Structure 1
Amino acid sequence: MTTQPSPSSAIAPAASDPFDPEHYEMGRSIGYVLARAKSRLAYSVEQQVSGLDVTHPQASCLMMLAKGAARNVTDLARELGTDIGSVTRLLSRLERRGLIARNRRDDDRRVVDLSLTPAGEAIVGKLPAIYCDVLRRHFEGFTAAEIETLRGLLQRVIDNHQDLCKS
């Protein structure tokens, strides 16, 4: 018995322009597929971090603070790809729970630096294992080389965006 490939896995003939509007199919669009993959990963992380009584965005925020990827609201908004108001509300919840501290700079009172509290650091210590478990399950069957290739390709997309923003 032969099986037919699912529409999402069927391979379309190669086109000279993979972004030709005449051949556009939403379900096969690279943007759509990327968004679905991100959504599935985020959902799995959300399920796992709920045991720590945090949300996926809160966990991401804590990790960024811990790794020095962000020090203030503006940095976090840029890294999370969201607006400052959303990040401010997220930070207020984390502060109320005693997971972060906000500290105004002495040299410029308009700037508020963020830091983890010991309780926040305790949660951060558990997050890498959760993230790795989720990734391991979603990338089952992938080789290390395939994962590295995908990471490199996605980084090129990110770099292209940064180059476009400079223009």
Structure 2
Amino acid sequence: MSKDDPTSGPPAPDSALFDPAKYQMSDSVGYLLQRAKNTLAHSVEQEVSSLDITHAQASCLIMIATGRAGTVTDLGRELNTDMGSVTRLLSRMEKRGLVARQRRDDDRRVVDLLLTEQGQALADRLPTIFCKVLSQHFKGFSADELQLLKSMLRRVIDNYSG
């Protein structure tokens, strides 16, 4: 295939999809994604408040419990937040007896995150809460629609090269 062959390589971006002259914030994909994220987060916040934790703390617990974030650095990357915020969040959780931080013997710069018994007990309850919230927000969606949405969101994430 030659360079001029339109079937070779990834498709060129379709700038017609995003025309500044027709841009309306309330109909913007970015705006709608952010609103959807905020409504999900607010619903989770309401549900986990009965456990005396915040949405951010619940997210940390589930990420540590599932192995998604085993270190402080991993957690900062997953939460897409600065290390100072992560440190403050973990300090509050540590004071509550939910997590423990442990420096590695072979590399003292790395801080591993561990759930305490109390933290694990809360983490075990979170999938039920998260599924309840998702069920409320995705009422009327078919399994195929949900799979398509997840596939599309993964493509958006994968397109980010930063």
Give the Cα–Cα distance (whole angstroms) in 2 for the partners of residues 113 and 93 of structure 1. 16
Residue 27 of structure 1 aligns with which residue? 26
Q: Give the drift of 1:16.
A: 7.3
Give the Cα–Cα distance (whole angstroms) in 1 for the partners of residues 82 and 15 of structure 2. 38
Amino acid at match of 1:22: A
Q: Give the drift of 1:17.
A: 1.1
Residue 135 of structure 2 aligns with which residue? 136
TM (norm. structure 1) is 0.87
Give the Cα–Cα distance (whole angstroms) in 2 for the partners of residues 143 and 111 of structure 1. 43
Runs (4+) of structure 1 moved beyond 2 Å?
A: none
Q: Give the drift of 1:76.
A: 0.5
Amino acid at match of 2:96: R
- The answer to whether structure 1 residue 55 and structure 2 residue 29 are counterparts is no
Residue 10 of structure 1 aligns with which residue? none
Q: Give the drift of 1:78.
A: 0.7
Residue 158 of structure 1 aligns with which residue? 157
**Structure 1: gaps (5+ residues):** 1-14
SS in structure 1 of the partner of residue 127 of structure 2: helix
User: Cα RMSD (Å) of the superposition?
Assistant: 1.2
Task: State percent identity of aligned pairs.
Answer: 62
Residue 3 of structure 1 aligns with which residue? none
TM (norm. structure 2) is 0.89
Residue 8 of structure 2 aligns with which residue? none
1:11-56 deviations in Å (ceiling 9; x for gaps): xxxx971211000000000000000000000000000000111100
Residue 71 of structure 1 aligns with which residue? 70
Q: Give the drift of 1:65.
A: 0.4
Aligned length: 149
